[in-house]
Amino acid sequence: MNLIITSANNHFKVKGVLNRQTVHLFKSELFKALNKLNTIVLDIEGLKDIDRYGVSVLAQLHNESISQNKKMSIVGLGCKELYDHFKSEETAA
């Protein structure tokens, strides 16, 4: 399954698989949006699968939003791997 990114204003819906083969598309679209917008809402409800490359690019996007002093929210019941990653980062801090 491919990765489909749709947007309306600052709300981005991600559907499909975020993995090594699709991470370049995600990175290109979302980092471009982050440079233009002050707030991004990322809806991951439609993600069916995510690998370590996908989790890594989400962490990079999150870190970039912090460094640019911009707001980023991740909403939706997505993949458990993603929540586990950010929960472990939160615990380590």
Decide if pLDDT at 6 tops 90. yes
Residue 31's contacts (CB-CB under 8 Å, 6 or more residues apart) are 61, 64
Q: Provide the domain limits for residue 80.
A: 3-92
The closest of 79, 80, 93 to 44, measured between CA atoms, is 79
Decide if pLDDT at 91 tops 70. no
The closest of 24, 76, 18 to 52, measured between CA atoms, is 18
Tell how strand 3-8 and strand 71-75 pair up: unpaired
Tokens 């690019």 belong to residue: 57
Q: What CATH number does residue 31 fall under?
A: 3.30.750.24
pLDDT tens, 29-68? 999 999 999 999 999 999 988 888 998 999 999 999 999 9
Separation CA 30–CA 27 (nearest Å): 5
Decide if pLDDT at 86 tops 80. no
Separation CA 16–CA 50 (nearest Å): 9
The closest of 82, 84, 76, 12 to 44, measured between CA atoms, is 76
Is the pTM for the entire model greater than 0.85?
no
Average pLDDT of every residue of the chain: 87
pLDDT classification of 76: cutoffs 50, 70, 90: confident
pLDDT score, position 92: 56
- What's the domain count of the chain? 1
Percent of the chain clearing pLDDT 90 (strictly above): 69
